[in-house]
Amino acid sequence: MYVGRRMTRNLITVARDTSILKVKNLLKQYNIDQVPVVEGKRIVGIITDKDLRQVSPSPASTLSVHELNYLLSEMKVEDVMTRRVVTVTPGTPIEDAAKLINEKRVNSLPVVAGEELVGIITTCDLLNVLLEFMGVGLPSTRFEVTFPNRKGEIAVIASLIHEFDRTILSLVTTAVREGSPTRTAIIRLDGMDSSALLQALRDKGYRVDEEYRGREGVS
């Protein structure tokens, strides 16, 4: 899956000369925590709620609400925004975007095609992708299997699941690491009772955790 399939396309943006007060109101109105700064269709910066907190007067200030709003209305976005923006393209793999967000410690990545801003992808978007791929929210059985780190083991596990006439809703494994003796798979199956299958996996020598039954968004 690529960023272009999950990004938000209908963007709230501001210009360099937008007042900080207006940005503050926009974040509150749309329940967002960042907004790109543009010139035409080109992104030139980004401003976040953290930026606003850093330039806002202290809560202990003796200024009146009117005075606070005046100060914020006089301050412009270009005085506060982050100019070196980390971006991705619509063709960036989702997992690469997640890695970048984690490495750069940001909450979102503007999406650009050439020099044009075409969307934004946030940590919430990426979390929704993870939940979707894990099958969370479906009536299901979730369990973990630890197996020898050698070729063909996943196929053996999948074949056994097939013998019990169960459907794999999701299967995620740890990466293959040279020298590691085992790997672990998180498996989610249709249906709510997998006790016989889990015992069959144990009988084959696999380590299986306790069965957990998830339904209606709880996993």
Per-domain residue ranges of the chain? 3-130, 138-214
pLDDT band of residue 217 (cuts 50, 70, 90) is very low
143 — pLDDT class (breaks 50, 70, 90): very high
Average pLDDT, the chain: 87
Residue with tokens 């989610």: 188
Q: What is the pTM of this model?
A: 0.76
Q: What are the distances in angstroms from CA 71 to CA 93, 135, 182, 205?
A: 42, 49, 60, 69
In one letter, which amino acid is 146? Answer: T
Where does 40-113 have alpha helices with state H?
49-55, 65-74, 94-104
Question: What does the CA dihedral 153, 158, 161, 165 come to, rounded to 10 degrees?
Answer: -150
> Please, what CATH class does the domain formed by 138-214 belong to?
alpha beta
The band of 52, judged by pLDDT with boundaries at 50, 70 and 90, is: confident
Question: What 8-state DSSP symbol labels residue 147?
Answer: E
Say if residues 137 and 217 touch (Cβ distance below 8 Å). yes
Residue 214 pLDDT: 46
Residue 184, SS3? strand
pLDDT of residue 65: 58
Q: What topology does CATH give the domain 3-130?
A: CBS-domain (3.10.580)
Lowest-confidence region among 3-7, 70-74, 133-137 = 70-74
